[in-house]
Every structure is written in C-alpha cells, then in structure tokens.
C-alpha cells in the first residue's frame, strides 16, 4: 500500500517536472485581460502566459500599446476594471498605486510563485505589489574604432573623460557632434537630468515630504555637466528620442552614446546598420562624476501587477498565467530580448552596459508618489537653460516653481 | 418666417449645440475652479531588484474617502487662473517691480509658460492669416486665367496641401528639413554650413511653422476666392473696359470690392483656425522653441498620472476668450453690414 502511494507520488512529481504537464493556471474558465507596453520582452512574457494558460481561460486578451501609461488609470478605475493585469515599470506602478488600482500579491505569490526569485518581488512596506521580470537602464555606447582613431585610450568612465574623448574626436576632425543622447523636450530631457543629478548624489525631495530639493549645488553641477555634454550633441538634440538616437548610431554618425540598454540588442543585431558600426560598438556602464562612485543612470524594472477592481478568481487566474510565463524555458527562447531577472538568463554583449551600471551601484528610478510631477516640470523648464537663454539657477528655480504649482493643484503640498 | 416655424427649424441644431458645446464649456469652467483633494502621504520602504529605498506613497484609503465625499475636489476659485501656470499675477508683478528696462521685464514674462505660448499663438495668427489671404487670392487669380483644359488638374494639385492631414503633412516636412533630409541638406549645402539646422534655432523654427501654416491653409482661401471670381459681374467689367480702365484698375475697383465679403469670411475662419494652432507643433517636435495655447492644454492633460484638469480647463477658457476677442472686430463689421442691408 505504502509502496503504491510512493510510486503514485513519484509519478506525479515526474509529471510536474515534464513539459507534458501544463502549467498551473489556477481557476479555469476565467477572463484574462492584459494591458502592456509594446516591446519584444513583454511580448515574450505575455505570449508565454497565453501559450500556457490561454486554453484554460474563457478569454485571453492582450493589448500591447506604447500609450499604455496614458490610458491605464482611466481603464482600471471602474469596477470591474477593463484589464485584469497591467504590465508596469517603476514609474507606472506608482501611477497606479496613487489611485489604489493594484492589489497586494502576497497570497498569490505564496500559492503560485514558488519559482520566483526574492529579488523579483517589488515590495512596499512588505506588501508585494509587482513581480519584476526584466531590468533596463541608460548607459554608455562607444565606437571603439573611432575612439582609437582619435587617440582615446580605454573607455571613458567619468563625465570628464567622456567630454575629453568627445573633444578629441572633434579636434581630430572625425565628427563635429560625436555624442548622442535622448534629449527630446519633455520626459527625455527630464530623465537625463535625473541620471546626472543622481550621479552627483542629489536628492529630489526633502526627506519624508513632497517639498522639492533640487535647487542646490548638486543640481547646478548636474546642469552644468549636462550643458557641457550637449555641446557635443547633434544640433537637433531637443527633438531626438530613442528612435532618432538609435538611427544616428546605426547610421554611423555618432561615436559616444548615452542610450537605453533595451536598444543595445537592437543595435548589435545584424539589421539596420553596417558591419563596421556593429562590430565596433561596445556597451559599458553609465559614467560617474570624477571622484564619485554612483553611475549616472536610473535603473528600471518591468513587472506584472494585478488589478484591484476585478474578482478574486480572475485575479488568481491572471496571476497564475503570467507567472507561468516567467520560466527558464521562456528566457532561453528570448535570451537577447531583455536583461532578464529570471533564472537561466545568459548575459550577452547587449547586457554588458546594464549589468555594469547596476553592479556599479546606480539608483533605481525614484518611486515617490509625486515624482511624475517633478519629472514633468524638469522636462518643460530645463530647455531654456540648454538653449543658453537662462542660467542654471534660474532654470532650477523655475522647475521648483512649476512643480510646486502643480503639486498644490494635485494635492501633494 | 413665423417665429414658431423658425423655432422648430432651429430646435435640433440648438439642442445639439447646447448638449455638445455649451454644457461641456460650462463643465470645463466649473472644473477649472476646483483642484484635487489633499493627498495623504505616508513614508514607506520600497524594495526592488536593485535594493531598498525610503519613499513616499499615497494612503489610498484616506484619499479615496475624501474623494467620495466631494468628487469635484477642493474649491479653489479663480486661483488657478492667477497662479504661475497661467496668468501668473504674482510673478508678472514681481518682474515689473524688480526690472529696470522693458526688455528685461519682457524676458522675465516670456519665461512663463502661458505668456510664451500666447506670444507664439498671436504671432502665428497675425502672420499666417494675411499671407494665406494674399497667397490664396493670387493663386485663385492665376487659376482663373488658365486655359480651361489645365484648370481641373491645377485646382486639384493646389488643394493638395489642405487634403493632406496636418499631422501627416508636418511630419513629412519634419523629415525633409532634417539635417539628412532633402531640404535640410540642400540648405546646408547652399550656406556651406554643416551645423545649420532648422530645428535647432528658435527663429528658424518659428519661420518653418509659419511657412507650413501658410502652405497648409492657402488652398482654403484659394478655393473660396476662386468661387468668388466666378461671380464677378461681367457687365461691370466690360463697362470698366469701355471706360478705359486698365487691368490693374479693374482689379482694384471691380474685382476686389466684389470679393470683400469673402475676405471677411475667410479671415474669420482663419483667425479661429490659426489661434488654435496645434498639430504642426507636435509634428515638428517644436516644443522647445514654440508652444501654442492648444499645445499647452494638451500637455497639461497628457502629463500622465498627473493630468492637471484645472489648469487645462482654465487655459481652455482663456483660449475661448482669446478667440472671442479676436473675432469681435470682424463680427461687429458683419453685424453693421447686415443692419445696413436690412434697412
């Protein structure tokens, strides 16, 4: 009798381990609706979830749109919510949490998340609010052939070294504007300031309050660094975001880039660029200030959340489906699509920049509830300074004034 | 027409106007008087794959209770209109007190987002409108004098700029004026300056937007003028010819007076249209150098996670006010003409 039971259990375990056994999809016959941004890594995770559990669910809908963050709050506020899950990043998690639209996942992780790693769990005061699956950050891209031609030794690791290298390239007459950065007015400009400000060790808010604290020496130093870099950037930099900078890079028109890690794989693949550019492109960590240790970048993660305003069984089925997609098999199939936080990821050359930046101790994009307002203010008000029509002090005063006006209207101050 | 017949005639459109135009404007106005509830912030520790940090988050239970009690938010009166986001009374007053020259004062005021947008909007309106009128008139004259066989194709191709959606049209031009685009590269060649960029200089950006505006809207005034030209009384023209009037004199004394009511109509439409300039700014990614009132409303609404409905609402009200002020002289004139003709 005992032996029989043992074989049964044994058979069951083998069944669990084999790929014949479908993933545990939780309650069957539920409706699973996912809202997500639109890039390969997210397609990989959501696609794996659909393959595993699409059959068990009554419906499985995925809406991949780059406008996800613009519609998510409106879509999730009604009860029942439009989507049972939104795939978020640092800042969009805060955006949903501000309106109470995501539910704590502690119980669900206990039930279905056995294979998740501790560092995938995004917690706020011990409540698990999201499960991260990939990381991203800005970092440096270099063209080693051009650096060599201009007589730059090694890869620049600080802002001063970056500037010196850019000057050498310009002086050697190779390129007038060797640097590319995402400086499009609005979110991108604000984000570049954030990275350099963090490298200078700055804090965005007075501790424990929503009062801004960027108008200080660190802020001014960060702005001056930014201005010095911009001198070497393409004249149209204020209109350039990721697609344009990637285009310039692939066209061989830049030698030093400060771009997103998620563009690394796309640049290093065999499409859209020449062999010369691809074989000489090297990704390395974000720069620090001279004598400093914090890389100038913001670390980002992307992860899944579950909506508050849906039934518990829908929530459970959605969670089970999505975590069933976060497996080693999925990662090995899509290894170069992202910097995966899931077991089984083999970092290739495209991951070098993000790994170096993260292990160098870069900070995460701040999760303050009111951060979005400050970011918007930065994006709008730093432009005058970059154009040269305003001093750094004035620009930071303007940013704080705009932020305070907005924060008062939004109820944060 | 009997008053009651007129009433029944106009009832459907009147209802639609009240429902879809008047009431929303009232609701936007009410919204512009309110701001969000206070957010109850709590300090918490957040952990992610890269470590733990102390952050603030919103106490959603407390906040949603406040919201349920008063869904409109806190009453703020006209303060939204006067704060830094819009009319900025305090900042303008301070600039007035602390600056010596008018230029310096203007620099300080121009630094405020609303005045920056207003300046561009008004400049755009008053530059583009006359150019469109004049250009459209000359194109109409030209087409009118073409041989019949060429007229059809010419009219169609002259209308093209208007047929192309503004956003698409401006995006196409945006790529053409790029340093690697046809126009951009040609200009760099002509002036032998590799860093010449239409997108990098505020002045060139303004000119580019206005040239685009003229290009895009000229067909409208062209087609209206062309229609008008078909109705110019031939008898008067012949009489003028017999009296020995030159071509120019006929133009000045017969054709232009005949088209005058159309000029008023076109300016009315153009002033309204140009005051709401929006798509080219997005299409040309020109936010760094030129913003308009409509763009300002858009950006306040789009600040994801933090749409400032009150500021957007207040800016909308001011835009409506601006259009009304612009149109008043034209409307007064039309009213006078109407009265003259009526009696």
3-state secondary structure A94-122: HHHHHCCCECCCHHHHHHHCCCCCHHHEE
Distance from CA of A21 to the nearest CA of B (A): 30
Residues B241 and B187 in one domain: yes
Residue B4 lies in a domain: no
Residue A219 confidence (pLDDT): 96
> Which residues span the domain enclosing B231?
113-342
Which chain A positions have a beta carbon within 8 Å of B64's beta carbon?
Answer: 100
Q: What's chain B's length in residues? A: 343
> Smallest Cβ distance to A238: which of B45, B74, B288?
B288
Residues B298 and B222 in one domain: yes
Report chain B's C-alpha Rg in angstroms: 26
pLDDT along chain B (343 residues), means of 10: 89 95 95 89 88 86 83 88 89 90 89 93 96 95 91 91 88 86 88 82 91 94 95 92 91 92 91 92 90 92 79 93 90 83 60
Residue B20 lies in a domain: no
Residues B204 and B315 in one domain: yes
Which chain A positions have a beta carbon within 8 Å of B53's beta carbon?
Answer: 363-364, 366-367
Residue B343 confidence (pLDDT): 54
Q: Is B328 on the interface with A (CB under 8 A)?
A: no
* Residue B227 structure tokens: 């229609």
Residues B41 and B125 in one domain: no
Residues B92 and B174 in one domain: no
Residue B180 lies in a domain: yes
Distance from CA of A7 to the nearest CA of B (A): 40
Residue B25 lies in a domain: no
Residues B72 and B187 in one domain: no
Structural domains for chain A: 22-135+301-352 (3.40.190.10), 137-299+358-409 (3.40.190.10)
B306 to chain A: closest CA residue: A373
Cβ atoms of B286 and B205 closer than 8 Å: yes
Q: Give the residue carrying structure tokens 């209770």.
A: B65
Residue A209 and residue B56: Cβ atoms within 8 Å? yes
Q: Which CATH number characterizes residue B223's domain?
A: 1.10.3720.10
Residues B322 and B204 in one domain: yes
Residue B143 confidence (pLDDT): 93
B179 to chain A: closest CA residue: A236
Residue B134 lies in a domain: yes
CB-defined contacts A:B, below 8 A: 176
Cβ neighbours for B99, distance < 8 A, ≥ 6 positions apart: B105, B108
Q: Is A373 on the interface with B (CB under 8 A)?
A: yes
- The domain boundary, picked from B91, B111, B131, lies at B111
Q: How far apart are CA B241 and CA B130, in angstroms?
A: 30
Residues B118 and B65 in one domain: no
Residues B225 and B174 in one domain: yes
Cβ atoms of A86 and A96 closer than 8 Å: yes
Residue B60 and residue A97: Cβ atoms within 8 Å? yes
pLDDT tens-digit profile, chain A (413 residues): 455 555 555 444 444 444 434 578 999 999 999 999 988 899 999 999 999 999 999 999 999 998 888 899 999 999 999 999 999 998 899 999 988 999 999 999 999 998 999 989 999 988 999 999 999 999 999 999 999 999 999 999 999 999 999 999 999 999 999 999 999 998 999 999 999 999 999 999 998 889 999 999 999 999 999 999 999 998 889 989 998 999 999 999 999 999 999 888 889 988 888 999 999 999 999 999 999 999 999 999 999 999 999 999 999 999 999 999 999 999 999 988 889 999 889 988 889 999 999 999 999 999 898 999 999 999 999 999 998 888 999 999 999 999 999 899 888 88
Residue B306 and residue A410: Cβ atoms within 8 Å? yes
Residue A20 confidence (pLDDT): 38
Tens-place pLDDT, residues B305-335: 678 889 999 999 999 999 999 989 888 888 8
Going from the C-alpha of B332 to that of each of B257, B325, B335, B336, the distances in angstroms are 19, 11, 5, 6
Q: What is the 3-state secondary structure (H, E, C) of B34-45?
A: EECCCCCEEEEE
Residue B311 and residue A409: Cβ atoms within 8 Å? yes
Residue B244 lies in a domain: yes
Residue B304 confidence (pLDDT): 59
Q: Predicted ipTM?
A: 0.83
Residue A412 and residue B41: Cβ atoms within 8 Å? yes
Residue to test with chain A: of B288, B289, B309, most A Cβ within 10 A: B288
Listed by number, the residues of chain B in 248-287 with a beta carbon closer than 8 Å to a beta carbon of chain A are 284-287
Number of domains in chain B: 3
Q: Is B90 on the interface with A (CB under 8 A)?
A: no
Q: Is A343 on the interface with B (CB under 8 A)?
A: no
Q: Is B299 on the interface with A (CB under 8 A)?
A: yes
Residues B172 and B318 in one domain: yes
Residues B94 and B125 in one domain: no
Cβ neighbours for A133, distance < 8 A, ≥ 6 positions apart: A41, A45, A120, A301, A302, A303, A304, A326, A338, A340, A341, A342
Listed by number, the residues of chain A in 152-211 with a beta carbon closer than 8 Å to a beta carbon of chain B are 176-177, 184-186, 205, 207-210
CA atoms within 13 A on the CB side of A58: 7
> Smallest Cβ distance to B39: which of A91, A92, A412?
A412
Going from the C-alpha of A371 to that of each of A31, A141, A207, A330, B127, the distances in angstroms are 34, 28, 13, 34, 40
Distance from CA of B45 to the nearest CA of A (A): 5
Residue A376 and residue B76: Cβ atoms within 8 Å? no
Residues B182 and B314 in one domain: yes
- What global pTM score does this model have? 0.87
Q: Is B311 on the interface with A (CB under 8 A)?
A: yes
For helices B309-342 and A392-409, the axis angle rounded to 10 degrees is 80
Residue B120 lies in a domain: yes
Residue B13 lies in a domain: no
């Amino acid at each position: 009798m005992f032996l029989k039971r043992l074989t049964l259990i044994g058979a069951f375990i083998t069944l669990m381990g084999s790929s014949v056994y479908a993933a545990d999809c939780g309650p069957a016959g539920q409706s699973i609706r996912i809202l997500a941004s639109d890039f390969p890594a997210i397609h990989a995770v959501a696609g794996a979830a659909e393959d595993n559990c699409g059959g068990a669910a009554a419906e499985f809908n995925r809406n991949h749109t780059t406008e996800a963050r613009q519609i998510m709050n409106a879509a999730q506020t009604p009860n029942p919510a439009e989507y049972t899950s939104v795939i978020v990043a640092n800042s969009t998690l805060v955006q949903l949490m501000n309106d109470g639209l995501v539910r704590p996942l502690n119980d669900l992780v206990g039930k279905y998340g056995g294979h998740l790693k501790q560092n995938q769990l995004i917690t706020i005061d011990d409540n698990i609010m999201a499960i991260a699956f990939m990381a991203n950050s800005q970092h440096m891209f270099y063209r080693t052939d051009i650096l060599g031609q201009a007589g730059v030794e090694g890869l620049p690791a600080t802002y001063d070294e970056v500037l010196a290298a850019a000057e050498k390239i310009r002086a050697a007459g190779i390129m007038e504007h060797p640097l590319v950065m995402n400086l499009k007015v609005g979110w991108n400009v604000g984000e570049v300031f954030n990275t350099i400000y963090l490298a200078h060790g700055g804090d965005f808010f007075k501790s424990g309050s929503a009062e801004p604290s960027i108008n200080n020496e660190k802020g001014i130093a960060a702005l001056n660094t930014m201005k010095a870099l911009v001198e070497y950037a393409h004249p149209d930099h204020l209109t350039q975001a990721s697609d344009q900078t990637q285009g310039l890079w692939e066209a061989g028109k830049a030698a030093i880039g400060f771009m997103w890690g998620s563009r690394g794989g796309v640049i290093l693949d065999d499409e859209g660029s020449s062999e010369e550019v691809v074989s000489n492109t090297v990704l390395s960590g974000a720069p620090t200030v001279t004598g400093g240790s914090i890389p100038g970048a913001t670390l980002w993660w992307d992860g899944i959340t579950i909506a508050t305003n849906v039934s518990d069984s829908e929530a459970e089925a959605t969670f089970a489906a999505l975590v069933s997609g976060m497996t080693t098999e999925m990662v090995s199939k899509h290894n170069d699509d992202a910097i995966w936080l899931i077991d089984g990821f083999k970092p290739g050359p495209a991951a070098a920049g993000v790994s170096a930046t993260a292990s160098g101790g870069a900070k995460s994009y701040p999760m303050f509830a009111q951060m979005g307002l400050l970011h918007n203010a930065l994006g709008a008000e730093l432009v005058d300074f970059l154009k040269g029509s305003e001093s750094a002090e004035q620009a930071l005063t303007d940013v704080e004034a705009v932020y305070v006006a907005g924060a008062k209207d939004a109820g944060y101050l | 027409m009997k008053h009651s017949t007129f009433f029944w005639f106009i009832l459907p459109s009147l209802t639609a106007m009240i429902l879809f135009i008047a009431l929303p404007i009232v609701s936007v106005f009410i919204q512009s008087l309110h701001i969000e509830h206070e957010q109850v912030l709590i300090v918490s520790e957040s952990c992610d794959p890269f470590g733990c940090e102390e952050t603030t988050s919103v106490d959603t239970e407390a906040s949603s209770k406040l919201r349920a009690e008063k869904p409109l938010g806190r009453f703020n009166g006209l303060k939204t209109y006067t704060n830094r986001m819009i009319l900025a009374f305090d900042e303008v007053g301070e600039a007035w007190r602390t600056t010596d020259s008018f230029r310096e004062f203007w620099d300080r005021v121009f630094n405020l987002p609303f005045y920056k947008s207003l300046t561009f909007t008004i400049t755009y309106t008053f530059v583009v409108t006359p150019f469109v009128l004049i250009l459209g008139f000359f194109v109409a004259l030209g087409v009118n004098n073409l041989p019949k066989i060429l007229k059809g194709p010419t009219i169609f191709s002259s209308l093209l700029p208007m047929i192309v959606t503004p956003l698409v049209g401006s995006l196409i031009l945006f790529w053409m004026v790029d340093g690697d685009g046809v126009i951009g590269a040609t200009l760099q060649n002509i002036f032998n300056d590799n860093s010449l960029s239409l997108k990098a200089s505020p002045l060139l950006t303004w000119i580019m937007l206005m040239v685009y505006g003229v290009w895009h809207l000229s067909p409208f005034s062209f087609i209206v003028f062309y229609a008008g030209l078909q109705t110019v009384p031939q008898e008067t023209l012949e009489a003028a010819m017999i009296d020995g009037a030159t071509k120019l004199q006929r133009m000045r004394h017969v054709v232009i007076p005949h088209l005058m009511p159309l000029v008023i109509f076109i300016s009315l439409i153009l002033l309204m249209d140009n005051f709401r300039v929006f798509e080219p700014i997005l299409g040309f990614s020109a936010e760094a150098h030129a913003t308009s009132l409509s763009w300002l409303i858009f950006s306040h609404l789009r600040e994801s996670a933090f749409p400032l409905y009150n500021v957007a609402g207040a800016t909308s009200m001011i835009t409506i006010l601006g259009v009304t002020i612009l149109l008043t002289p034209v409307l007064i004139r039309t009213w006078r003409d109407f009265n003259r003709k009526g009696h």
